[in-house]
Structure 1
Amino acid sequence: MAPLPIGYHFQIKTDHQSLKFLLEQRILTQAQQKWLSKLAGYDFEILYKKGHENICADALSRRITSNLLQFNAIMQLESTELMAQIAESWQTDSPLAKIITQLKQGNPVSKPYVWSNNKLSWKGRLVVGCNADLRKNIIRSIHTGSSGGHSGYIPILHKLKSIFHWRGMGKATKRILQECEVCQINKYEHVATPGLLQPLPIPDKVWTHVSLDFIDGLPKSSGKDTILVVVDKLSKYAHFIAIAHPYSAITIAQAYLDHVYKLHGMPEILISDRDAVFLSKFWQELLKLLKIQQNMSTAYHPQTDGQTEVVNRCLETYLRCMTGEKPREWAKWLSLAEWWYNTNYHSSTQRTPYEVMYGKKPPLHIPYVAGSTVVEAVDRSLQTREEMVRVLKQHLQAINRMKMQADKHRKERELFVGDYVYVKLHPYKQSSVTRRSSYKLAPRYFGPFEVLSKIGAVAYKLKLPPYAKIHPVFHVSILKKKIGNQQVAEILPQEATQLGQVQAQPIAILNRRMILRKRRLVEQVLIQWSQMSAEDSNWEDVTSLRQQFPAFSINP
Structure 2
Amino acid sequence: MWRDKTIASLEKRFYWPHLRKDVGTIVKKCYTCQVSKGQSQKTDLYMPLPIPNDIWQDLSMDFVPGLLRTQRGVDVDASNIAKLFFREVVRLHGEFYRSPQTDGQTEVTNRTLGNMIRCVCGDKPKQWDLTLPQVEFAYNSTVHSATGKTPFALVYTFVPRHVVDLIKLPKAPRVSVVAENIAEEIIAVKDSVKAKLEATGLKNKVVVDKRRRVKVFNVGDDVMVFLRKERFPSGTYSKLQPHKYGPFKVTSKINDNAYVVALPDFMNISNTF
TM-score (norm 1): 0.36
1:45-444 pair list within 5 angstroms: 193=43, 195-216=44-65, 217-224=67-74, 244-245=75-76, 247-248=77-78, 250-262=79-91, 264-268=92-96, 293-297=97-101, 304-364=102-162, 365-366=165-166, 367-397=168-198, 398-416=200-218, 420-426=221-227, 429=232, 436=239, 438-439=240-241, 442=242, 444=244
Q: Deviations over 1:265-290 (max 9, x none)?
A: 2243xxxxxxxxxxxxxxxxxxxxxx
Say which structure is richer in strand: 1
Indicate the structure (1 or 2) with the bigger Cα radius of gyration.
1
Please tell me whether residue 499 in structure 1 is matched to residue 270 in structure 2: yes
Contact 2:216 2:256 in 1 (8 A): no
Distance 1:411 1:354 in 2: 37
Q: Residue type of the partner of 1:253?
A: A
Which residue of the partner structure matches residue 246 of structure 2?
A: 446
Q: Residue type of the partner of 1:251?
A: N
Distance 1:414 1:325 in 2: 44
Q: Residue type of the partner of 2:204?
A: M
1:201/1:368 CA distance change after superposition, 3 Å? same
1:450-489 pair list within 5 angstroms: 454-460=253-259, 464=262, 468-469=264-265
Q: Residue type of the partner of 1:413?
A: K
For the residue of structure 2 that corresponds to 1:401, the secondary structure is helix
1:328/1:444 CA distance change after superposition, 3 Å? closer
For the residue of structure 1 that corresponds to 2:226, the secondary structure is coil
Q: Deviations over 1:454-511 (max 9, x none)?
A: 443444556x48xx12xxxxxxxxxxxxxxxxxxxxxxxxx4223359xxxxxxxxxx
- 1:348, distance to aligned residue in structure 2 (A): 0.9
1:332/1:498 CA distance change after superposition, 3 Å? closer
Distance 1:427 1:210 in 2: 24
Give me the CA root mean square deviation. Answer: 3.2
Which residue of the partner structure matches residue 161 of structure 1?
A: none
Q: Residue type of the partner of 2:49?
A: L
- 1:451, distance to aligned residue in structure 2 (A): 5.3
Distance 2:217 2:140 in 1: 42
Which residue of the partner structure matches residue 53 of structure 1?
A: none
Say which structure is richer in helix: 2
1:330/1:450 CA distance change after superposition, 3 Å? closer
Distance 2:254 2:185 in 1: 41
For the residue of structure 2 that corresponds to 1:422, the secondary structure is strand
Distance 1:207 1:252 in 2: 19
- 1:402, distance to aligned residue in structure 2 (A): 1.1
Contact 1:417 1:452 in 2 (8 A): yes
For the residue of structure 2 that corresponds to 1:198, the secondary structure is coil
Q: Deviations over 1:96-141 (max 9, x none)?
A: xxxxxxxxxxxxxxxxxxxxxxxxxxxxxxxxxxxxxxxxxxxxxx
Corresponding pairs, count: 224
Q: Deviations over 1:312-365 (max 9, x none)?
A: 222222222223333333333322221111101100111000001111243342
- 1:414, distance to aligned residue in structure 2 (A): 4.0
- Report the more deviating stretch, 215-224 or 377-386: 215-224
For the residue of structure 1 that corresponds to 2:267, the secondary structure is coil
Distance 2:127 2:219 in 1: 53
Contact 2:113 2:135 in 1 (8 A): yes
- Where structure 1 has 5 or more consecutive residues not aligned to the other structure, the ranges are 1-191, 225-243, 269-292, 298-303, 470-494, 502-556
Q: Residue type of the partner of 1:219?
A: R
Contact 2:260 2:271 in 1 (8 A): no
Q: Residue type of the partner of 2:211?
A: H
Which residue of the partner structure matches residue 22 of structure 2?
A: none
For the residue of structure 2 that corresponds to 1:295, the secondary structure is coil
- 1:368, distance to aligned residue in structure 2 (A): 1.0
TM-score (norm 2): 0.68
The structure showing larger relative contact order (alpha-carbon pairs under 8 Å, at least 6 residues apart) is 2
Q: Residue type of the partner of 2:93?
A: G
Q: Residue type of the partner of 1:405?
A: V
For the residue of structure 2 that corresponds to 1:400, the secondary structure is helix
Distance 2:136 2:219 in 1: 46
Q: Deviations over 1:50-98 (max 9, x none)?
A: xxxxxxxxxxxxxxxxxxxxxxxxxxxxxxxxxxxxxxxxxxxxxxxxx
Contact 1:319 1:330 in 2 (8 A): yes
For the residue of structure 1 that corresponds to 2:62, the secondary structure is strand
Distance 2:132 2:250 in 1: 45
- 1:384, distance to aligned residue in structure 2 (A): 0.7
Q: Residue type of the partner of 1:296?
A: P
